[in-house]
Amino acid sequence: MNCEEIRRSVQDYVTRELSIEDRRLFDAHLVECAECQRELALMMALVSTLDHQPVLEPRPGFGEKVLASLPRQRSFVLSPWWSLALAPLLAGIVWLFRVPIARGLEGLLGRVAVSHVTAPAVTLPQAGIAAALIVLVGLGVAFSAGAYVWQVYLRD
């Protein structure tokens, strides 16, 4: 490399973007050229100074000002995880109404000449468990939704 080529590649040398071969040629020239050593030292100092520019701080109270300017109403976006809360609720409903569902299915299958399916009977404890499950899931969803609405829309 000559001095002109060194000047063209000095920035890539400092930011380590030169290939190994070019870096070797660069180093070889540097050993015997005081002017290019000076050029390199200046660019290294400049790049390092630019890399370490100070972080400026806004005036005190900036954070509070930002929070005070946030719009109180934000579009209500449900997290996809909320749909999971509906899964046990739907399962509970299906289970509670399994007898009429199964009878309906039985009738449907009978019409297409499949006769070995019979509707199961449901006991009182089973119906009680299903009802309790639905009530619990419903209360959970209502409580979470209430807490969310309070946090997003009502809390100061």
Smallest gap from Cβ 82 to other proteins, in A, equals 11
CA torsion sign for 141, 142, 144, 148 is positive
Burial profile 57-69: b = 16 or more Cβ within 10 angstroms, e = fewer: eeeeeeeeeeeee
Of these, 4, 58, 84, 118, which contacts other proteins (CB under 8 A)? 58
**Smallest gap, in angstroms, from Cβ of residue 60 to other proteins?**
11
Token pair 């109270």 is found at: 61
Q: Is 34 in the site for other proteins (CB under 8 A)?
A: no
Residue type for position 25: L
Nearer to other proteins, 41 or 139 (CB): 41
Restricting to residues 60-89, name those near other proteins by CB under 8 A. 62-63, 65-67, 69-71, 74-75, 77, 79
- 42 touches other proteins by CB under 8 A: yes
Does 152 engage in binding with other proteins (CB under 8 A)? yes
For residue 154, the 8-state DSSP code is I
**Nearest alpha-carbon partner for 82 in 141, 149, 16:** 141
* 86-145 binders of other proteins (CB under 8 A): none
Cβ atoms 113, 93 nearer than 8 A: no
Residues that bind other proteins (CB under 8 A): 11, 38, 41-59, 62-63, 65-67, 69-71, 74-75, 77, 79, 148, 151-152, 155
